[in-house]
Structure 1
Amino acid sequence: MALDNKDDTDFVKFWNTVLEPKFTKYRHILQGGLSRHSAAVIPNLPLGEGMSVLDVGCGWGDMSLQVAEIVGSNGRVVGIDCVDAFLEEGRKDAAEKGLRNVTFARGDAEVALPENEFDYVVARFGTMFFTNPVAALRRMRLALKPGGQMTHIVWRRREDNPAWQKAKDITLRHLPAPGADADSCGPGPFSMGNQETTGLMMKSAGYEDVTFTRVDEKILVGRNPEECIAFALAIGPGGEVFREAGEEMAEAKRPEIESEMHGYFESQEVDDDGIWAPTSSWVISARNPG
């Protein structure tokens, strides 16, 4: 399951060099927002004492730790991710919590996964970035024992996720769209937003009993408009447009972009914690035939 760094794909290299520092800087926003979706899902999954669970694209591992507490000391959880810094944080947090039934390993579901080993596979907002989604989803299925189950959480359509999409809409009014050869984190956050298309992917990957459940949650996008803007121009669809425009062009347009974004974020729900914007996800569950 472990990857040799010298064999990293361009996708993995991009995550470890370009995206990781930005994601780490805004971990408090990203992890807090993503966890609102998994918190609405994990307690309702058929997870139990003694089960073995694989968490694909585990990031900083907060969901892996939550699942580890559910399966107990007789169970085990393996979190895999291709970003070294994320895994180190997961190991630190597991040690602080005294959880010995969870391990974190460097891996890429598009390259290799163990086979016929787990009772359940979970993934939170990672499968949308697969370059070859059907092949990777099939690897996830083959990691399951016969009859094992999987659940992954993905963003719905871009129009259902203004927390992410609005920043891109604003940025595109001032900067050109990235070219087809632009460096990116993969197909994009909304690549599995269409229920019919993603259902066909799941069936092509060999799953049975595929179900979709919608989850709507507002997430914190920053403690104030300035942080919201900095976050939006660093990460996500808006950040990709800003980055790929090149520093000279992007910085020349920054005042206009920031002014328009400021107005948008000020119009959203505000409380003592910060600014909240709407997001919407699909919770997709399925079974490995057996």
Structure 2
Amino acid sequence: MSMAETATDAPREDTEFVRFWNEVLAPKFTRFRHVLVDGLTYHSEAVFPKLPVKAGDRVLDVGCGWGDTAMKLARIVGPEGKVVGIDCCDAFLADAKADLADADLTNVTFMRGDAEVALPEGEFDFVFSRFGTMFFANPVAGLRNMRRALRPGGRMVHIVWRDPADNPWLSMAKDIVLQYLPAPGEDARTCGPGPFSMADEATVRKMMEIAGYTDIAFERVDAPVRVGDDVEDAIAFQLAIGPAGEVFREAGDLAEQKRPEIEAALAEAIDDQVRDADGIVIDSSSWVISARNPGD
């Protein structure tokens, strides 16, 4: 399957998860792009120097978001290499293309697509995803499509969050908000399984085995995450995105009634966190999961 055949020649109706990302989450994520991109700098610095990528490689970046990782990979593979960034969010791709137009790169292409439905097949030396695969509603299908995008012997790396207890930057705010609001109901609209859906090593290893990978390895990376420029920014971020944001959003009018109490509680907790030159940082922990496509 060529790239042209995946998303442009035979468009498919978006899934509920893709619609939710485009309609609800994308504007919220864009508002906090300064946190979600710049805040992950420590993780990128720990991971990127170790990636199995070299000059001349063809690379696929799944869930590329605003394209920052795709462009970073493009500088590694150089002008003889090529990077394709794929995402399901129109707003993210529009910003990625705008940033690319201002960059000195000619080896990057962005395309709209859903990794759980279809990806280009057999075209890439390396497939990468930073904090994207944990939102797959059907993770085995998405992981299998990522493997099929690789040439035989090609490698993949995806980065996911570990346990909530090791990620207070996300779990702390949710625990506080749940003191004031009910948990989301079974019919709540969500972004998918959520940020901790791939926290368990044994479960994810089995998923990847079923998807056809070999040489599966897990490396733990602990690094701080910047959650906002200041306390006010961090509170707004937590109530818009992630587990706490989901609880707050689904509570509707009750959440707004309780907002002053919730914000006061969050302010107290966030004010106790460490600060660096750029803002407030809280501990986080991720799995860097690597594997190989043995070939069909």
What range describes the TM-score normalised by the shorter chain of this pair? over 0.9
Q: 1:208 maps to which residue?
A: 214
> Alpha-carbon deviation of 1:36?
2.6
Say if 2:222 and 2:283, in contact at 8 Å, map to a contact too. yes
Alignment of 1:13-92 (within 5 A): 13-92=19-98
Q: Partner amino acid for 1:284?
A: I
Alignment of 1:27-176 (within 5 A): 27-176=33-182
After the TM superposition, which of the residue ranges 31-40 and 78-87 deviates more from structure 2? 31-40
Q: Partner amino acid for 2:14?
A: D
Q: Partner amino acid for 1:208?
A: T
Whole-Å Cα distance in 2 between the matches of residues 47 and 238 of structure 1?
36
TM-score by length of 2: 0.95
> Alpha-carbon deviation of 1:2?
2.0
Q: Secondary structure at the match of 1:41?
A: helix
Say if 1:35 and 1:63, in contact at 8 Å, map to a contact too. no
CA RMSD of the aligned region, Å?
1.2
> Alpha-carbon deviation of 1:180?
1.5
Whole-Å Cα distance in 1 between the matches of residues 75 and 238 of structure 2?
33
Say if 1:87 and 1:105, in contact at 8 Å, map to a contact too. yes
Whole-Å Cα distance in 2 between the matches of residues 59 and 39 of structure 1?
18
Q: 2:226 maps to which residue?
A: 220
Whole-Å Cα distance in 2 between the matches of residues 37 and 203 of structure 1?
26
Q: Secondary structure at the match of 1:173?
A: coil
1:259-290 Cα deviation digits (max 9, x unpaired): 11111101100234211111110000000013
Whole-Å Cα distance in 2 between the matches of residues 231 and 271 of structure 1?
18
Alpha carbons of structure 1 residues 228 and 5: separation in structure 2 relative to 1, 3 Å: farther
Whole-Å Cα distance in 1 between the matches of residues 44 and 208 of structure 2?
20
> Alpha-carbon deviation of 1:6?
6.8
User: Where does structure 2 lack aligned partners over 5 or more consecutive residues?
Assistant: 1-5
Q: Secondary structure at the match of 1:201?
A: helix
Q: 1:273 maps to which residue?
A: 278
User: Where does structure 1 lack aligned partners over 5 or more consecutive residues?
Assistant: none
Say if 1:38 and 1:124, in contact at 8 Å, map to a contact too. no
Q: Secondary structure at the match of 1:277?
A: strand
Q: Secondary structure at the match of 2:158?
A: strand
Say if 2:40 and 2:226, in contact at 8 Å, map to a contact too. no
Q: 1:11 maps to which residue?
A: 17
Corresponding residue pairs, total = 289
Say if 2:160 and 2:198, in contact at 8 Å, map to a contact too. yes
Q: Secondary structure at the match of 2:248?
A: helix
Alignment of 1:172-183 (within 5 A): 172-183=178-189
Identity in percent = 61
Q: Secondary structure at the match of 1:282?
A: strand
Q: 1:250 maps to which residue?
A: 255
1:120-153 Cα deviation digits (max 9, x unpaired): 0000000000000011100100110001000000
Whole-Å Cα distance in 2 between the matches of residues 88 and 279 of structure 1?
29
Say if 1:269 and 1:275, in contact at 8 Å, map to a contact too. yes
1:201-255 Cα deviation digits (max 9, x unpaired): 1111110000000111111111111111111000000000000011x10011111
Whole-Å Cα distance in 2 between the matches of residues 266 and 5 of structure 1?
47
After the TM superposition, which of the residue ranges 3-12 and 181-190 deviates more from structure 2? 3-12
Whole-Å Cα distance in 2 between the matches of residues 243 and 103 of structure 1?
34
Q: 2:265 maps to which residue?
A: 260
> Alpha-carbon deviation of 1:33?
2.1
Q: Partner amino acid for 1:170?
A: I
> Alpha-carbon deviation of 1:83?
0.5
